[in-house]
Amino acid sequence: MITKSERRTKIKYRVRHKVSGTAARPRMSVFRSNKQVYVQVIDDLTGKTLAAASSLGMEKMPKREQAVKVGEIVAKKAMEAGITTVSFDRNGYLYHGRVKEVADAARNAGLNF
């Protein structure tokens, strides 16, 4: 029987086979733990992180609201770095809940997917 983490790893590799970040269109990768959410905008050709944000150190609020704030913050940082379009990497998670909230907040803040 396949475990939940093994299933996510298989999905992650399948998604990463199709999604890659370049300097013109970097990859926006989302990682969510049980308590926090982390987002990076990555140029895979050079292996550099161009912008990043996380919910660490934020005031106490529901997790989905934290995800919205993180999405807005990473979009703002990416726009300051001159990035307007990104490829969204859901990192093996379902496009639902906190992952969807991050993506929607980044779109509303001005990033194009």
pTM passes above 0.85: yes
Torsion 92-95-99-102 (CA) sign: positive
Given this model, what pLDDT does residue 21 score?
78
Query: For residues 92 and 9, is the Cβ–Cβ distance under 8 A?
Result: yes
What does the block give as tokens for 52? 């990043």
Pick among 3.40.50.1820, 3.40.50.300, 2.60.120.380, 3.30.420.100: CATH of 4-108: 3.30.420.100
At 65-102, the pLDDT tens digits run: 999 999 999 999 999 999 999 999 999 899 999 999 99
User: What SS3 class is residue 98?
Assistant: helix
